[in-house]
Structure 1
Amino acid sequence: MRSVLTSNDMKSDLLDILIDLAHRDACSLPPAVFQIARMSLFDWVVCARAGAGQPVAGLIRKFAMAEGGAEVASLTGGGKGPARLAALVNGTVSHALDFDDTHFAHIGHLSVAIYPAALAAAEETGSSINDVVSAFLVGAEAAILVGMTLGPDHYNRGFHQTATAGAFGACIAASRIYGLGTSQIKAALGLCATRASGLRSQFGTMGKPYNAGIAASNGVETAKLAHLGFTAPADGLSDPLGFIPTHSDRPQAVADAGHLYRFEDVRFKFHACCHGTHAMIEALLQAQGDNRFAPGEVAYCRVFTNPRWMNVCNIARPRSGLEIKFSYPWLAAMALDGRPTGSIAVYDQALTRDLTIADLAGRVEVIADETVGEMQSRCELSLKDGRSIECAFDLDVSLPASELEERLKLKAEQLLGDGSDRLTFLRDKTRDGHASEIGRLLAAPV
């Protein structure tokens, strides 16, 4: 357990670490972690392109096009706009399917909050793809550190870390691309402290992907304002009236802050729903494969999960396709019935009225268990023939690099079909190019 910090303990240590991250030489970034960041870029673009046809994507793009402005950065699905608006659109669209990566150390989606900011700034400044990846990686580390410092109290009281901690990561990424100096980065972070926002009450609605867009947009906006000369508090994060003391009653000390690259622990999604449910889905799929039973044979299913997830993804009776993504009972029923949880097409209104799934979901009991970790799930199945099956899964166990790359490739093919071939170069750290290449991929017509 990490120790609790007071504002006096924090002083400016966190601020100094974030500034150091922003200025870190690209050559010093660990190659293995940089490669994971390239895979994250690939996955982010896949999620953005796949989400471009979603209703929220059309609405946010329509909003941006109506507002207009300098056409310097690409919008997913077509068009260009100011960097801030592009970050808003691309962050929102890429999180529309809730199919993007998660970092469990602070429970946040890093790619959808930070890559849109880094790319928008890079397109505006004529930077390279590897500049985008480097900015993303240091921004991701910043977001993780801010999120871990805020601690579980911040998330549990209702804040969405993707939007709050993610905004600071987006700010660091954009500040790096725009070439801000130390005093300017302090000002950008100070401004970000008054801009960062986002609530978990938005889950299951268009407001959740909008949170990601807000984070990216805030990062670009605050970096650009600081670059122009805007002033802000000396330490908007750790000052007694700064973001951390006002948004967490129990901020946490982070061991080896600034010395470890925690991004390498990121986890990618292979089911198009809340990541808190994935360990359960994997456990039930494994049980099905090992024991070969029909869905109708299930008398009941008990799902044991960490208490943290009980008010996040335990909607008992979802009313929409979006809410199904946050429903343990419905998703358990889908896994048991062999429904493709990795298919974006299945999460629709009709599924909320599916009698087979509703019946199976009614046999699922979700139990909070503090002995189960946040990345784990344990399930007990009782079959009508008297058999009992226990299964468990732990997302904390890393996939081998080759298997991870193959699964991401398959995910891209399932979401984009033949169009996924054009994205392959994004995974290759030896292949650089202009950031506008990514922009053109995003902006292709839906």
Structure 2
Amino acid sequence: MSLSHLLSRRAFLVQGALAGVSANAVAPAPSPQTPAAQTPTPQAPTEVQPSTPPATRILADWLVSSPQDAVPDNVRKEAVRSIVNWVGVTVGGSGQQAVVRALATLQPYTGTSSAHLFGRSETLDPLRAAFITGISSHVLDYDDTHLETIIHPAGPVASALFSLAQTRPVSGADLLHAFILGTEIECRLGKVIYPSHYDMGWHITGTCGVFGAAAACGRILGLNAQQMRWALGIAATEAAGLKIMFGSMCKSLNIGRAAENGLLAALLAANNFTSSDESIEGHDGYIFAASRQHDYARLVDGLGQHYEIALNTYKPFACGIVIHPVIDGVLQLRNQHHLKAPEIRSIAIRANPLVLELTGKKTPTTGLEAKFSVFHSAAVALLRGFAGEKEYTDEAARDPQVIALRERVTVAVDPIVQTDEAYITITTTDGQTFTKHVEHAVGSVQNPLSDKDLSFKFTQLATGILPPAQIEELLTFAWNLPEQHNAGDLPRLGALA
């Protein structure tokens, strides 16, 4: 790739996409009796084979015994990048109506207020803080993405961890290790059940995120292996979240509930609240109930040898991840050929089927709906030259110019096209045609955001919410999390006085 191309890509990113914008473990209790196996019905879509690994036990044993020095430096580095991105989007989402309304609902009923919230002055009990923080981290749809599963790993896990860390001393290194372990469980489980689970209507970040939060918090609480099995089982029976909620406040609620429920699962297990020891892999267990096709081996093979957080990616655009290749291509064509909205006859897109499945809203009327409209996204990107948070407000969704242009956007789906790929053809009113093939969207594993990009994104999101000096202090603390003596200081630094 030429230097000029690299420079133009960087200018596009900065000027366009991001503009505007531990208690000791308690003694083990006796194992509960295993219920009698049930005979599967002939209509059962899947079967648990005799060779199915005891996944719940294997995962629990690994979670309680995995040493920090077994994690490669590059994995720890990506985990820090994930935390930095998560803090930025959580502060950025702190004033959204989903957060405001949830807080107004919960405050009269909350317990001891000891946990701070990013970007806000209120304090809550740790469970409710995990819930609100989870909503705040996801409400902008600007968070991280594990592309193989479309899971947003940090939201449920970090929201639970940093709420728990405000109740006990936890070093930055210990919290980061727990975060790595939790996201590993979350993403591995997603790999086992995706895409069947997603196709059935489940919101995979909500359903798998609760396992990651439970695992990470269980590590901080010092659970023993039996208690960790119980924590995973409690998480399994709590797992929920529906795709039909996309475009409403309930999409971010799913992440809030995953964080809160995961923390609750770990706390219950610490007090010997029992669950099944086969909750993940057993017949009538989570995987069996939550997917039609699955590969149990993907949950345990290579455990501790490679880490899914190393494949995490970060959004340069404040919308559904599957639209990003389209926005990338539209912006490149706009900037390269100086295209203006009035001269556009059509914008034709060829993309992965998930684009229409997840973001096929043709006439969004709110900012939340617009985040799941490929039609809006293509139009607003060409019209305004970027796709930050201001392009996904109610005002932007109802802008007559955006509405007029999105009516000229068409989308054809092709299963051969990858999820981070798109083909864009723009035709002008005088018959000129411009095409762009985006092989890997900006922000993908192959075309990642740099540390500098993440810091810029963080600053843009926090500006107007926190004072400049506080933003700088918070960002520095987050980048240096492994060296911090008390990880619980991070949300305190990110709260309003």
Which residue identity is paired with 1:29? V
Give matches, 1:147-186, under 5 Å: 147-186=190-229
Larger mean CA deviation between 63-72 and 166-175 belongs to: 63-72
Q: Which residue of 1 aligns with 2:422?
A: 377
Q: Which residue of 1 aligns with 2:122?
A: 79
Q: Which residue of 1 aligns with 2:25?
A: none
Q: Deviations over 1:379-403 (max 9, x none)?
A: 1222223222221221344346xx5
Q: Deviations over 1:202-225 (max 9, x none)?
A: 111110111000100111001110
Number of matched residues? 439
Q: Does 1:276 align with 2:322?
A: yes
Looking at structure 2, the residues matched to 27 and 250 of structure 1 have their Cα atoms a distance apart, in angstroms, of 35
Corresponding residue SS for 1:435: coil
Displacement of 1:18? 5.0
Looking at structure 2, the residues matched to 410 and 351 of structure 1 have their Cα atoms a distance apart, in angstroms, of 23
Q: Does 1:439 align with 2:486?
A: no
Which residue identity is paired with 1:408? L
**Match among 470, 473, 479 for residue 422 of structure 1:** 473
Looking at structure 1, the residues matched to 184 and 64 of structure 2 have their Cα atoms a distance apart, in angstroms, of 10
Give matches, 1:92-131, under 5 Å: 92-131=135-174
Q: Deviations over 1:36-77 (max 9, x none)?
A: 111111111111111111111112223332222133432331
Which residue identity is paired with 1:68? T
Does the Cα contact within 8 Å between 2:56 and 2:278 map onto a contact in 1?
Answer: no
**Match among 311, 326, 337 for residue 291 of structure 1:** 337
Flag the 1:15–1:370 CA change in 2: closer, same or farther, 3 A. farther
Flag the 1:65–1:442 CA change in 2: closer, same or farther, 3 A. farther
Q: Which residue of 2 aligns with 1:89?
A: 132
Q: Deviations over 1:213-239 (max 9, x none)?
A: 010011100111011011111111111
Q: Deviations over 1:302-335 (max 9, x none)?
A: 1111112322111010021110111001110011
**Match among 10, 31, 48 for residue 90 of structure 2:** 48
Which residue identity is paired with 1:59? R
Give matches, 1:106-255, under 5 Å: 106-252=149-295, 253-254=297-298
Give the alignment's TM-score, normalised by structure 1: 0.94
Does the Cα contact within 8 Å between 2:366 and 2:393 map onto a contact in 1?
Answer: yes
Looking at structure 1, the residues matched to 245 and 176 of structure 2 have their Cα atoms a distance apart, in angstroms, of 29
Flag the 1:19–1:73 CA change in 2: closer, same or farther, 3 A. farther
Q: Deviations over 1:252-298 (max 9, x none)?
A: 34284413212111110111111111111111111222222222222
Looking at structure 1, the residues matched to 279 and 355 of structure 2 have their Cα atoms a distance apart, in angstroms, of 30
User: Between the two proteins, what is the percent identity of the paired residues?
Assistant: 28
Which residue identity is paired with 2:490? I
Q: Does 1:7 align with 2:48?
A: yes
Does the Cα contact within 8 Å between 2:186 and 2:212 map onto a contact in 1?
Answer: yes
Flag the 1:397–1:100 CA change in 2: closer, same or farther, 3 A. closer
Looking at structure 2, the residues matched to 302 and 83 of structure 1 have their Cα atoms a distance apart, in angstroms, of 48
Does the Cα contact within 8 Å between 2:319 and 2:372 map onto a contact in 1?
Answer: yes
Displacement of 1:301? 1.1
Looking at structure 2, the residues matched to 14 and 381 of structure 1 have their Cα atoms a distance apart, in angstroms, of 51
In structure 1, list runs of 5 or more residues that go unmatched: none
**Match among 404, 412, 428 for residue 359 of structure 1:** 404
Does the Cα contact within 8 Å between 2:474 and 2:494 map onto a contact in 1?
Answer: no
Please tell me the root mean square deviation across aligned C-alpha atoms, in Å.
1.9
Does the Cα contact within 8 Å between 1:49 and 1:94 map onto a contact in 2?
Answer: yes
Q: Deviations over 1:150-180 (max 9, x none)?
A: 1201011110111001110111101001110
Does the Cα contact within 8 Å between 1:18 and 1:142 map onto a contact in 2?
Answer: no
Corresponding residue SS for 1:380: strand
Displacement of 1:15? 4.3
Displacement of 1:14? 5.6
Does the Cα contact within 8 Å between 1:142 and 1:169 map onto a contact in 2?
Answer: yes
Which residue identity is paired with 1:24? S
Does the Cα contact within 8 Å between 1:34 and 1:429 map onto a contact in 2?
Answer: no
Q: Deviations over 1:12-36 (max 9, x none)?
A: 1364135414531112211111111
Displacement of 1:374? 1.5
Looking at structure 1, the residues matched to 475 and 398 of structure 2 have their Cα atoms a distance apart, in angstroms, of 38
Q: Does 1:386 align with 2:431?
A: yes
Q: Which residue of 1 aligns with 2:106?
A: 64
Does the Cα contact within 8 Å between 1:39 and 1:405 map onto a contact in 2?
Answer: yes
Does the Cα contact within 8 Å between 1:108 and 1:161 map onto a contact in 2?
Answer: yes
Does the Cα contact within 8 Å between 1:128 and 1:433 map onto a contact in 2?
Answer: yes
Looking at structure 2, the residues matched to 82 and 257 of structure 1 have their Cα atoms a distance apart, in angstroms, of 38
Q: Does 1:267 align with 2:318?
A: no
Flag the 1:66–1:129 CA change in 2: closer, same or farther, 3 A. farther
Looking at structure 2, the residues matched to 257 and 24 of structure 1 have their Cα atoms a distance apart, in angstroms, of 13
Corresponding residue SS for 1:340: coil
Displacement of 1:6? 4.4
Displacement of 1:339? 4.3
Q: Deviations over 1:88-111 (max 9, x none)?
A: 111011112111111111111111
Does the Cα contact within 8 Å between 2:166 and 2:489 map onto a contact in 1?
Answer: no
Does the Cα contact within 8 Å between 1:122 and 1:131 map onto a contact in 2?
Answer: no
Flag the 1:288–1:22 CA change in 2: closer, same or farther, 3 A. farther
Does the Cα contact within 8 Å between 1:100 and 1:268 map onto a contact in 2?
Answer: yes
In structure 2, list runs of 5 or more residues that go unmatched: 1-44
